[in-house]
Structure 1
Amino acid sequence: MFSFTAYSYPKSESLKETLASSTVAGLLVYVFLIVFQPFGTESFQHPYKYLILFPYSVFFGASFFILNLGVLKLSNWNIGLELLKILTVLIVGSVISYFYNTLYISHVDLSLGNYFYMLLYSLAIGIPVSAIYILSRYIYLKKVHESTAQTISGQLTHKKPANDHQLLNISSNTTHLSISENHFLCAQSMENYCILYFTDNGETKKMMLRISLSSLLKQIETPSIRKCHRSFIVNLDHVKNLKGNAQGYKLSIPEMTFEIPVSRSFISFIIPQLKQQVQ
């Protein structure tokens, strides 16, 4: 069980994705309330009953959104942390919902016992559904990415070699470097520095420059040289293998001793480019 929760999990990586998932979460709560009408709402009679129930979806959706924003920039996310996040959402949402239910719907005195009843009800329904959602999303993304990677990898070894015409001119403080596009392999961000990997007379070399990854990208970006991760720039012409997992993809370049990650926010740019190269 504990080993399972340690598996990496693809959390939302953009504000747009976070907003979309939070909206869906809130709407699912609303659908659940309309269909099952828990917390005594089945006995609540009002001409605008369904309108009065709608704030519950706002409470849980907003809690989901705020918690997601808090973990947006965190790395090494896993299934255990995702479960903990959802548990926190359920607790926060149940607290706000309890006050709303007590003060505006039930009109009864506040009671710790009544709150625990609502909390247990929320956990009893929310945890199993959330666990199924997490596992299903993980398996789905893993299968999709693995299948795509297998298809593309089978064709990457047969793609045409890159042209050796364009010259990349890189300037950083007093350092000036010119590298043929075909010789550039990748670049890795290391705080305020970048490590450049390139080939020279058949040998793989690296050079550290005091420059940000974004500044470097502005100087060297081409149709083949792209940012694929918040810490990596890669020359897609040199990619010979692609691996997929639930988190995204990893690129392999024969000259490199490590794999280059592709974060989910860059998949829509990198994968179509690789597909275009092997067509």
Structure 2
Amino acid sequence: MKDIFKKFKKYLTTPYPYYYDNTKRVLFLLLLISVLSFGFSYFFEPFEVNAAEHKINSIAILLVHAFIPFPIAFCYFKLVDRTLKEDTKWTLGKELFHLSIILLLIGIAGFLIRDFIYTNPDNWSLTYFWEEIRNTFLVGFLLIIIVLPLNLERLIHKHAHSVQQLIKKQTKAAHNKLISIKDAASQEIFELHSSEFLFAKVESNYTEVYTFSATGVHKTLLRITLKELEEQLTPMAPQVFKTHRSYLVHLGAIETITGNAQGYQLSLKNCATTIPVSRSTIARFNAVYSKL
């Protein structure tokens, strides 16, 4: 039993793609879910209904229940996206947790609108409060427990296969160049040797630049955007690559590449930090890395 719990806990901490940073994608997903929810309720009629209590016709009630989740989920996901600091740390467990909160909010909303669609005098009873939440979770979790694991396994297989297609080779060492990086805030000049650059990461209003020398890994904070840093590192092109909206990596420093549901994970030489390659960047990363 303890082993099963450990395996389940590990499964929940598996990296899972974060889909909610793109408004068009969120709108499409919510519309698709609403249509599927309507179709499921219409064709399978999973819940007992009393037509005599209806203030509006049955189709209209199904439409209300299918599309009320749309604005609730959209607003919730926008709130999550605004407060999320690092989407590379998104996991299957976090996905399930936030979807469960959304289902709870949808169930509460379904209870609050009962007076508008049913004539039952017990609309405000605890019995119907529980019934609305229970029914919402029954429909919602039926979709979740099917879609999430299947999508997770599909992406893991896809990205693992994609990694295998990369040419297994050591990238050629670029000429060691001394590059001057100008800090936009202090106007100070930060100099680095191109062979020592590992990666850069966005952190709040700063960019953390990581380098490696004989004394170990060093971190330097610069008041500069990742785009500005990338432009100033053009002497290193094409060995500098933006793998994610928050990461810039030296391709020559890559030691191993592994795939997961979010994309790739890069392990660098002389560095314990793993660097994510987002799903949307994989094709371009493959093209650039295989030509080095």
Which TM class, normalised by the smaller chain length?
A: 0.7 to 0.9
1:143 match: secondary structure? helix
1:211 to 211, 219, 223: 223
How far apart are 1:157 and its partner, in Å? 0.9
Question: The residue matched to 1:71 in structure 2 has which SS?
Answer: helix
Equivalent residue in structure 2 for 1:98, among 89, 111, 118: 111
Q: Is the alpha carbon distance of 1:104 and 1:209 closer, same or farther for their aligned partners in structure 2, counting shifts above 3 Å? A: closer
User: Hey, what's the Cα distance between the residues in 2 that align with 1:207 and 1:88?
Assistant: 38
Q: CA deviation at 1:124?
A: 2.6
Report the secondary structure of 2:16's partner residue.
Answer: coil
Give per-residue Cα distances to partners, 1:17-38, cap 9 Å, x unaligned: 3333222222222222222245
Change (3 A) 1:9 1:274: closer
Q: Distance in 2 between matches of 1:168 and 1:140?
A: 42
1:71 aligns with 2:80: yes
Q: CA deviation at 1:259?
A: 2.5
Report the TM-score when normalising by structure 1: 0.77
Q: Write the deviation string for residues 42-62 of structure 1: whole angstroms up to 9, x where unpaired.
A: 848999753553232221122
Residues 69-97 of structure 1, C-alpha deviation per residue, up to 9 Å, x if partnerless? Answer: 23321543333332222222222112222
TM-score (norm 2): 0.74
Deviation at 1:181, TM superposition (A): 5.2
Verify the 8 A CA contact 1:18 1:69 in the aligned structure 2: no
Q: Which runs of 5+ in 1 are unaligned?
A: none
Does structure 1 residue 227 correspond to structure 2 residue 242?
yes
Q: Distance in 1 between matches of 2:206 and 2:135?
A: 51
Residue of structure 2 in register with 1:268 after alignment: 280
Amino-acid identity (%): 21
- Matched to 1:130, the amino acid is I
1:238–1:41 CA distance, 2 compared to 1 (3 A):
same
Quote the offset at 1:65 in angstroms: 2.1
Computed over aligned residues only, the root mean square deviation of the Cα atoms, in angstroms, reads 3.5
In structure 2, what is the Cα distance between the partners aligned to 1:20 and 1:77?
Answer: 21
Which residue number in structure 1 is paired with residue 181 of structure 2? Answer: 170
| Secondary structure of the structure 2 residue equivalent to 1:14 | coil
Which amino acid in the other structure matches residue 66 of structure 1? Answer: C
Corresponding residue number in structure 1 for 2:209: 196
Q: May I ask how many residue pairs the two structures share in their alignment?
A: 271
Question: Which residue identity does 2:188 align to in structure 1?
Answer: T
Checking the alignment, whether the CA contact within 8 Å between 2:263 and 2:282 is kept in structure 1 is no
C-alpha deviation, 1:277, in angstroms: 3.7
1:1-279 alignment runs, 5 A limit: 1=5, 2-3=8-9, 4-16=11-23, 17-40=25-48, 43=51, 49-51=58-60, 53-72=62-81, 73=84, 75=86, 76-100=89-113, 102-109=114-121, 110-112=123-125, 113-152=127-166, 155-157=167-169, 161=172, 164=175, 168-172=179-183, 173-179=186-192, 184-191=197-204, 193-198=206-211, 206=218, 208-214=220-226, 215-220=228-233, 222-262=237-277, 264=278, 267-278=279-290
Worse-matched range after superposition: 177-186 or 104-113: 177-186
Q: 1: distance between equivalents of 2:254 and 2:155?
A: 22
Aligned CA distance change for structure 1 residues 122 and 42 (closer, same or farther; 3 Å): same
Change (3 A) 1:253 1:57: same
Preserved contact between residue 56 and residue 117 of structure 2 (Cα < 8 Å): no
* 1:114 CA drift (Å): 2.2
